[in-house]
Structure 1
């Protein structure tokens, strides 16, 4: 009788082990892809990361070469006549508008930290899940005449992409995480007032328990947009005289 009980217990244990192994196998397949071992997936990701880093470095070198050529041309032409000087100044202005120049000036710095994690229940959420609120901040700063904006030191332009990637955020193709630090150059008092309006974006963020700090700064540095944008489908529209 004792042997029968031991045999039954052994069978039950074997069944439970089989169920556990089956669940683990399904979980791995769902996470890394069916038929792909974790080590293989990690190797694939490492290759893709290296490729992306090489492409980014190559783009950076191209930008530097082009900027060097532009500066040589601009400085060479500026000595010739007033027209060239005007053209040079206009070029600088439009490059600033497009975000292709490092800039500095007075403005504000806004920092958004995630709410404290509930130690009892372990619950927590992140601003990376609320990118709409981040975009709302950008929209308010633009409406308040901000002249340049960056998010975690990534220049915000008309071509900026902001996407959620797992537990991180990708801005201009660069992975970043909380806290979110937004810098804006413009009239500091106007920018701060726009963010701190009663019932405005700062109030909304704090209502969701985000930790928000906004301060004015006499001098802020904002780096240029570093990705190359090629126009494939667009071309300048010829202006005709009326």
Structure 2
């Protein structure tokens, strides 16, 4: 009798283990695909990533090539007549305003690092938590007549989004973390004074133990805005001459 109970218990344990193995196999198949081993799946993903990176690089090179051709065409037309030259200058001006061209010139560089570990108590905090301060810096620079602004080499334009995403911030769709480096082209003295004014934004950052380094630079380089903005709902209004 006792032996029969032991056999029954063994059978039940075997059935239970069989069910568990069956469930695990189904789960693995759903996650990595039918008949595909984890190592094979990893190799497939690596190959797909490499292919995507190659396509991205090819597109970037193609864009650079087309922009170079456009620039040559524009310059050739400029040499022909004064009207084309005036049109070219206006086009460049609006491209600069929209952020679609690289710029360089005198300005300032502001670098903000997180507080040292030995002054942080309780929960650690970081500059990426201070979106309001980052936006305040941008507003101050705009008020000080900055001609171009970048955040971690991402061009700031009217279309730029700055949003918190996990433990980093997204700027123009690119993930950024500490340190935050803000560059601006304009009158260096005016820009520096606007940021370093008594009890201003620099004072506020240092009050919260952030490590702030503000310098003037004779040749600040700010890259162009990389995303393409399509207007799906907006159309230009015709001017009414009456």
Cα drift, residue 64 of structure 1? 2.7
Per the alignment, do residues 169 and 138 of structure 1 end up closer, same or farther by CA in structure 2, a change over 3 Å counting? Answer: same
Partner of 2:107: 107
Query: What is the CA–CA distance in structure 1 between the aligned matches of 2:165 and 2:49, rounded to whole Å?
Result: 14
Tell me the SS of whatever aligns to 1:101: coil
Instruction: Report the TM-score, using the length of structure 2 for normalisation.
Output: 0.74
Partner of 1:126: 126
Query: What is the CA–CA distance in structure 1 between the aligned matches of 2:222 and 2:137, rounded to whole Å?
Result: 17
Cα drift, residue 65 of structure 1? 4.8
Cα drift, residue 81 of structure 1? 0.6
Partner of 2:157: 157
Partner of 2:224: 224
Query: What is the CA–CA distance in structure 1 between the aligned matches of 2:53 and 2:236, rounded to whole Å?
Result: 33
Partner of 2:200: 200
Query: What is the CA–CA distance in structure 2 between the aligned matches of 1:52 and 1:192, rounded to whole Å?
Result: 42
Query: What is the CA–CA distance in structure 2 between the aligned matches of 1:161 and 1:50, rounded to whole Å?
Result: 28
Instruction: Report the TM-score, using the length of structure 1 for normalisation.
Output: 0.74
Partner of 2:9: none
The yes-or-no answer on 1:137 pairing with 2:141 is no
Cα drift, residue 74 of structure 1? 0.8
Which deviates more, 82-91 or 157-166? Answer: 157-166
Partner of 1:72: 72
Partner of 1:174: 174
Partner of 1:25: none
Query: What is the CA–CA distance in structure 2 between the aligned matches of 1:49 and 1:238, rounded to whole Å?
Result: 47
Per the alignment, do residues 191 and 178 of structure 1 end up closer, same or farther by CA in structure 2, a change over 3 Å counting? Answer: same
Per the alignment, do residues 98 and 70 of structure 1 end up closer, same or farther by CA in structure 2, a change over 3 Å counting? Answer: same
Which deviates more, 139-148 or 161-170? Answer: 161-170
Tell me the SS of whatever aligns to 2:117: coil
Tell me the SS of whatever aligns to 2:218: strand
Tell me the SS of whatever aligns to 2:67: helix
Alignment of 1:18-57 (within 5 A): 57=57
Alignment: residue pair count? 206
Cα drift, residue 240 of structure 1? 2.2
Q: What stretches of structure 1 move > 6 A for 4+ residues in a row? A: 45-52
RMSD over aligned Cα atoms: 3.0
Per the alignment, do residues 49 and 232 of structure 1 end up closer, same or farther by CA in structure 2, a change over 3 Å counting? Answer: farther
Query: What is the CA–CA distance in structure 2 between the aligned matches of 1:227 and 1:157, rounded to whole Å?
Result: 11
Cα drift, residue 119 of structure 1? 7.3
Q: 1:113-172 CA distances to partner (integer Å, 9 max, x unpaired)? A: 111224785631001111111010001000000001111111111111112221112211
Cα drift, residue 62 of structure 1? 5.9
Partner of 2:98: 98
Per the alignment, do residues 52 and 161 of structure 1 end up closer, same or farther by CA in structure 2, a change over 3 Å counting? Answer: farther
Give ranges in structure 2 of 5+ residues lacking alignment: 1-29, 33-37
